[in-house]
């Protein structure tokens, strides 16, 4: 059975490509792009994901829905590194969704 957390992450990850052609939000999206092209693994990848998470959190701090999605991911943060990477990927996916959503609204 898929947990609510897994379903949320899968939904956010699946929605990302649908909005790939949308207008980019420079700061948040460029930081996410840097991590996605990175070859870092393990703890280094987790550390690298913290930069876009912090930048995006500042950018979307007034959006309660996005903040709620990110908090839902963060519930599982106190786990081993592999689990923390999944949490970080979920948070990045939430911010990618936010970038796409705001890009569509701007059109």
Domain spans, the chain: 4-106
pTM of the full structure: 0.63
Burial 16-27 (b: 16+ CB within 10 A, else e): eeeeeebeebee
Of 98, 39, 101, nearest in space to 73 by CA = 98
pLDDT (tens, 9 = 90+) of the chain, 107 residues, equals 456 555 455 455 555 555 444 555 458 989 999 999 999 888 898 889 999 999 999 999 999 999 998 888 877 667 676 678 888 888 999 999 999 989 888 88
């Amino acid at each position: 059975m898929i947990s609510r957390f897994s379903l949320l992450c899968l939904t956010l990850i699946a929605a990302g490509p649908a909005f790939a052609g949308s207008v980019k939000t420079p700061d948040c999206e460029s930081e996410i792009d840097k991590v996605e092209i990175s070859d870092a693994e393990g703890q280094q990848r987790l550390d690298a994901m913290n930069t876009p998470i912090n930048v995006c959190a500042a950018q979307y701090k007034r959006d309660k829905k996005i903040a709620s999605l990110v908090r839902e991911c963060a519930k599982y943060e106190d786990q081993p590194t592999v689990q923390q990477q999944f949490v970080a990927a979920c948070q990045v996916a939430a911010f990618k969704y936010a970038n796409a959503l705001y890009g569509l609204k701007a059109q």
